[in-house]
Structure 1
């Protein structure tokens, strides 16, 4: 068995009671207090996550924009300097290589933030795609960065105590470079993966270790693990690669149509297939489900309409806040209208569910 990777903050987990698990080859904290308490903290106050396992890749050169327009489904030409864009990277069959954030740092310099389990695959894919361009440099800089995410209605207030920079000047899906926080230089982005307001903070590994301690003593902020990160993103219906998105699931099937810009001039990977899906309708659709019978839907459970198997659950749990037993399921489109009565199979038993509206949680502005 290969040794698990660790982030720069690994030694800090125990001080806060962190319980670690194997997550995609990384030894990361699943919780510090409890998933329920950490979930509530982010919804009501502020939580801090170590997300230093995420990957970072620089794209540079005079053809960097053309390269990204070919590589990504969203329209990168709309991204101004110091702006952020969520997007997907697809294969020709419209299956997803990864979903990611694109940061425009300068006229010819971009930072892509990719999923930890996909770093090697993604970088190899980018390097292969870059061969068609004469002036594009792809550089994996994941080891040079650590990353924190502070999320929740009191997150900005807590972080503001540590910097003279006016954080509210950074609009959602924008970033600020060279921001000094607690004496350390960082890049901050007003983005997140919880459905709440807040910032993702990038810095050197040493900087992130120092900021973790500084932020956790700055106000009403609690350390949070992967467990609550998953329940929070699921409650807000934000997709997880490997579940709602994969090499076999297109962004249109996953319902994130806004990342697919078929009208942009540059032909991009998967465009023809995505155009056909949009024209003819997707064969499958991601839909919310809620238990009618007693039980909890889980990833991989099969979904049925009568005797016909029509799909499977991608994510499901009992929501910590509302106690609803809900899930997301990728099913045949003809059964994806609201209030459809379906069944899922749990331990060889068929239990009733109904299709429901998503997201399960939406932040009040």
Structure 2
């Protein structure tokens, strides 16, 4: 049986088309189209249900050194009120999951993990925590509900229903506040779209109330609920990695092009450190590349990438779509480094024809701060 979001009834009432997403029944789109939801998020704002994501509270005197050992990024750089993106890696550099965590205090953190990896992550983190005497991990996933409010008008909308001055919350920062109608809420200036926005969590019992408070506040700003379809096209334009596509147990952060999380100045030993630093120094056989189609044809996940002559296989498409913003076919793909050259041309096998594509700088759509 599929798991249901606390907002399931809200989605059904709005005519959402529900799909099985990693064992969850979630909206892929509403009565509108994916393209309309996508463009409205770019131009106005979109509200996403992300209640399927996992949520752990990690606390105790050893919480910081535990996370320093478990996470690739340098947790010691954080201060209370800050958020940080990282990966959890195996010894050989493969990615267990990519995560966001938020520091409440030096000994208290919230970690958000991918829904499909929640049980794996919890088991992995729990096993590592046994090496530390004073750290506790509590799975709060089922007690909490989460939404993401994204787009250039996101702050204007949220400001209508919270007392805190949102200009004081910078990117990758968070606070705890209260939404209109006495709904305690966690508010972080983070997101997965390439737009300014906020990720908001609250008690699951308050989910419908909070959802409608936000939608009502957004009526004057053309706010729309947005499904998984547009969430994926938005993140792909921004070149954000999707677990299982651009990063996985067999694709390292270096291969995925997210080396920024690997701080060579980090003194603490962490799982995967030796392998990742070695890849930084000596390179890898393959790396993620951004592709724009030259010929007509939509590049999709799993398609073969060949050299310009269409003879030799040099990679595979990890994510691909028609970009509603750019109005062209875009993709990310793992490409052999010998052929992974900016402005270079490759061929992608789309059904029975070869579609020429150019390797371009990432991202397709740069992050847009509040405007």
Residue 333 of structure 1 is matched in structure 2 by: 337
TM-score (norm 1): 0.97
Contact kept, 8 Å, 2:293 with 2:358, in 1: the verdict is yes
The question of 1:277 aligning with 2:279 is answered: yes
Separation in 1 of the partners of 2:299 and 2:237?
14
Where do residues 203-282 of structure 1 align in structure 2 (5 Å cutoff)? Answer: 203-219=202-218, 220=221, 221-282=223-284
**Residues 316 and 328 of structure 1 are in contact (CA less than 8 Å); yes or no, is this contact kept in structure 2?**
yes
The answer on whether the counterparts of 1:237 and 1:358 sit within 8 Å (CA) in structure 2 is yes
Q: Which runs of 4+ in 1 moved over 3 A?
A: 178-182
**SS of 2:3 mapped into structure 1:** coil
The answer on whether the counterparts of 2:196 and 2:368 sit within 8 Å (CA) in structure 1 is no
- Correspondence for 1:139: 138
Q: TM-score, normalised by structure 2?
A: 0.95
Match of residue 197 from structure 2? 198
1:66-85 aligned within 5 A: 66-85=65-84
- Equivalent pair of 1:262/1:271 in contact (CA under 8 Å): no
1:350 is matched with: 354
**Residues 290 and 327, structure 1, Cα contact 8 Å, conserved in 2:** yes
Shift of residue 364, structure 1, vs aligned partner: 4.3
Q: Residue in 2 aligned with 1:49? A: 48
Is 1:320 aligned to 2:324, yes or no? Answer: yes
The alpha carbon displacement at 1:182 in A equals: 3.7
Q: Deviations over 1:184-215 (max 9, x none)?
A: 11010010110111110010012222111111
Is the Cα contact below 8 Å between 2:164 and 2:177 reproduced in 1? no
Partner SS for 1:101: strand
Cα distance change on mapping 1:85 and 1:338 into 2, 3 Å: same
- Matching of residue 62 in structure 1 with residue 61 in structure 2: yes
CA positional deviation for 1:358: 1.6
Residues in 2 aligned to 1:35 and 1:13: alpha-carbon distance in whole angstroms: 15
Counterparts of 2:78 and 2:123, CA distance in 1: 24
Q: Secondary structure at the match of 2:356?
A: strand
- Alignment partners' CA distance in 2, 1:73 and 1:177: 27
CA separation in 1, counterparts of 2:109 and 2:327? 41
- Residues 236-268 of structure 1 show CA distances to partners (whole Å, capped at 9, x for unaligned) of 111110101100001111111111123211111
**3-state SS of paired residue (2:346):** strand
Inter-partner Cα distance in structure 1 for 2:267 and 2:367: 35
Consecutive unaligned residues in structure 2, runs of 5 or more: none
Partners in 1 of 2:278 and 2:45 — Cα distance? 43
Residue 108, structure 1, aligned to residue 112, structure 2: no
Determine the C-alpha separation between the residues in 1 that align with 2:334 and 2:200.
33
Contact 1:179 1:188 (C-alpha < 8 Å) held by counterparts: no
Measured in 1, the distance between the counterparts of 2:89 and 2:368 equals 33
How far the C-alpha of 1:60 sits from its partner, in A, is: 1.0
Report the alpha carbon displacement of residue 363 of structure 1 after superposing the two structures with TM. 4.1
RMSD over aligned CA atoms reads 1.2
SS in 2 for 1:252: helix
Alignment-derived partner of residue 31 in structure 1:
29
1:95/1:250 contact within 8 Å kept: yes
Once residues 181 and 97 of structure 1 are traced to their aligned partners in structure 2, the CA distance between those partners, rounded to angstroms, is 38
Shift of 1:228: 0.6
Shift, 1:308, TM fit: 2.1
Task: Report if the CA contact (8 A) 2:179-2:210 is conserved.
Answer: no
Aligned residues, how many?
363
How far the C-alpha of 1:178 sits from its partner, in A, is 3.6
1:129 equivalent in alignment to 2:128: yes
